[in-house]
A and B are shown apart, each in its own frame.
Chain A
Amino acid sequence: MASAVNLVADFRLHRSSGFDLELSISISAGETVALLGPNGAGKSTAVAALAGLLPIDSGRIVLGEVTLDNPQVGSFVPAHQREIGVLFQDGLLFPHLSVLENVAFGLRRRGVQPEEARLRTKDWLRRMGLEGLERRRPRHLSGGEAQRVALARALVTEPKLLLLDEPLSALDVTTRTQLRRTLAEHLEGFPGPRLLITHDPTEAFLLADRVHVIEDGMVTQAGTAEDIRLRPRTRYAADLAGANLVSGTAAGGTVDTGRHTIHIADTEIKGDVLLVIRPAAIALYPHQPEGSPRNSWLTSIALIEELGDRTRVLTEAPLPLAAEVTTDSARSLGLSPGTDIWLSIKATEIDVQAG
């Protein structure tokens, strides 16, 4: 097994296109950190720098005892000599090679003898539930199968660091949920540091221990998923990452969250689910709302944060949720911490995902 090492990356990188990336991140062995940001925020550049495909301009990247890149002392380990496994967005399986050859590629390039490479490859294909597909070409695989082959290819060489670059983005919703579980399972078994690159907050929150929000080449917020979800510091974080995630068990159009029962529009879904509730979908009232909407309860305000023309309101028991209202209406409602408030959510505004 690869020995457990830490990743310390603290660097600046200037692209010829004029884009600058400044990243400071450290990941312990066995820890998953997500780099969450919109397209064009510099996520792919970060992957390229860590993988050794782009040299950094200043700073350093150190994996365990090995300095991978430090221009100040003139050290640079080229990509092919770094022990880093990368899972790319669309898999990037080599189209001219079979599944077996794709997975064995890294082992063979690193000098493993053909017979041993074949055995190790077969072992990983079995672990990924890909037996019988050894001779297939990538174009004859489904999206989920292809991504599992790509994951096997990244893990079979037992790298010291695992980079997951938008691993689920190219997949359809059903496959995404399945592969997310596979991924969670294999991340668990991977001893080194893991970096997940994603623009999907749900993915980041479900798979990562800590999240770095990256915007315009800079980390704008770092913390636990909970920190970012409940106290987003930027507009982007509030809009995309600031969603409420509530897990529970669904049956007959209601979800038991353990603390409160929430009504949902989907009456068919059963079992473990994840509810995604956008803060803007939560309405606040000084009195009990008329027409008694089904998801409505009295709570009190824990925290109020102004983010420009919008204000986030953190509510307390029975179910802590973040709501977002315009700053104008927050003022007219006279909101302040500790005051009681009525909250309501339309069932149709709740996004239900299989958990």
Chain B
Amino acid sequence: MLVALGLLALAFFALPLIGLLARTPWSKLPEILSREIVRDAFRLSIVTSSLATVFAAILGVPLAWLLARAEFRGRGLIRGIVTLPLVLPPVVGGAALLFALGGRGVIGEPLNQATGLLLPFSTWGVVLANTFVAMPFLVITVEGALRSLDRRFEGAAATLGATPWSTLRRVTLPMISSSLLAGLILTWARALGEFGATITFAGNLAGRTQTLPLAVFVALESDREVAIALSLLMVAISLTVLLTLRDRWWRAL
């Protein structure tokens, strides 16, 4: 009985993949993948999710450090806010970003008046939406690693003359490097697959904000073969990421 149910679950995961492979127009695949709309979406996806990962690293590591190390009231609430994007429907996240950073947004309006910068419907808007949705993965992974790190190593570094910054750079981060790497890869993968917040906040403009998931959505309406080819491309990228990580991120988390 258990085995049967287990196999059923496996089929449930495998069948869509098989369906996708069965419908793939293999002979036309190179031609479809070299079309401009596909190449644009691919390039945009890679660039925006990589930039989002960089921002998540710059902002997320210090945030994780604060959550793990600083003693302050309301840490639970802050951790809740940080993890909210994990459970929030991405569309809601995109809408919230729009209210905050849109042309009429609380911050977006003065920002626009002061600098002329308009984030929504721009490539930077995609990066912002990606960062918003994906950064929690990095924060949670790194915070967990910092908590389980023996803090006496940092003390030892200090007695050897390392400033707090130098300790972070030369001792703390290298010692949690596998968790950090796992967090970065998860963040990148989540950003790559981001759809809801992106389409809400940045729209769906080919070449500027149309990432791979958005292109799949559009192609489903217009050209199924393109949709299948794009989907296959994303499956390939995701599988590569998972195989790179293997059991690493389970251990790191």
Interface, chain A (partner B; CB < 8 A): 48, 51-53, 78-82, 84-86, 88, 92, 94-97, 105-106, 109-110, 153, 157
Give the contacting residue for A80; candidates B150, B161, B170, B175; CB below 8 A: B161
Give 5 CB contacts A-B under 8 Å: A48-B155, A79-B159, A80-B161, A88-B156, A106-B161
Q: How close is B147's CB to chain A, nearest CB, in angstroms?
A: 18
- Say yes or no: A80 contacts B155, CB within 8 Å: no
Query: A94, B153: Cβ atoms under 8 Å?
Result: yes
Q: Does B244 contact A (CB under 8 A)?
A: no
Evaluate whether A80 and B174 lie within 8 angstroms (CB atoms) in the complex, with A88-B156, A92-B156, A94-B153 already known.
Answer: no
Contact between chains at A53 and B158 (CB < 8 Å): yes
Q: Does B240 contact A (CB under 8 A)?
A: no
Q: Find out whether the CB atom of B155 lies under 8 angstroms from the CB atom of A53.
A: yes
Task: Output the least CB separation between B169 and chain A (Å).
Answer: 11
The chain B residue sitting closest to A81, CB to CB, is B161
A53 to B156, alpha carbons, bound, how many Å?
9
Map CB proximity to A onto B134-173 as digits: 1 under 8 Å, 0 otherwise.
Answer: 0000000000000000101101111111111011001100
Chain B residues with CB under 8 A of A82: 159
Say whether, besides A96-B174, A96-B177, A109 and B155 are in contact (CB < 8 Å).
no
Q: Which of A51, A94, A97 contacts B159 (CB 8 A)?
A: A51
Tell whether, in the assembled complex, residue A52 and residue B162 are in contact, meaning their CB atoms are under 8 Å apart. no
Q: Are A109 and B161 in contact (CB under 8 A)?
A: yes
User: Which residues on the A side are within 8 Å of B159 (C-beta)?
Assistant: 51-53, 79-80, 82, 84-86
Question: In the complex, which residue of chain B has the Cβ closest to the Cβ of A92?
Answer: B156
What bracket does the count of chain B residues touching chain A fall in?
20 to 34
B175 touches A96 (CB 8 A): yes
Q: Are B155 and A157 closer than 8 Å at their CB atoms? A: no
Q: Count chain B CB atoms within 10 A of each CB in A52, A84, A109 and give the residue with the most.
A: A109
Closest residue of A by beta carbon distance from B160: A106
The answer on a CB contact under 8 Å between B155 and A94 is no
Contacts of A95 in B (CB 8 A): 175
Contact between chains at A94 and B162 (CB < 8 Å): no
A51: B residues at CB distance < 8 A: 155, 158-159
Chain B residues with CB under 8 A of A48: 155
Q: Shortest CB–CB separation between residue A14 and chain B, in angstroms?
A: 15
Q: Report B-chain residues with C-beta under 8 Å of the C-beta of A94.
A: 153, 156-157, 171, 174-175
Bound-complex Cα distance A237 to B162 (A) = 38
Contact, CB under 8 Å: A157 / B160? yes
| Set of chain A residues within 8 Å of B155, measured between Cβ atoms | 48, 51, 53, 79, 92
Complex alpha-carbon distance, A97 and B170, angstroms:
10
Which A residues lie within 8 Å of B164 (CB)?
80
Q: Are A109 and B175 in contact (CB under 8 A)?
A: no
CA distance A96 to B167 in the complex (A): 13
Return the chain B residue nearest A16 by Cβ. B71
- A79 to chain B minimum Cβ distance, whole angstroms, is 4
Q: How far is the CA of A334 from the CA of B239 in the complex (A)?
A: 87
A342 to B: closest C-beta gap in Å: 52
Bound CA–CA A295/B162 (angstroms)? 57
Chain A residues closer than 8 Å to B170, beta-carbon distance: 105
Distance of A80 Cα from B160 Cα, bound (Å): 6
Bound-complex Cα distance A229 to B247 (A): 56
In the bound complex, CA of A290 to CA of B174 (Å): 68
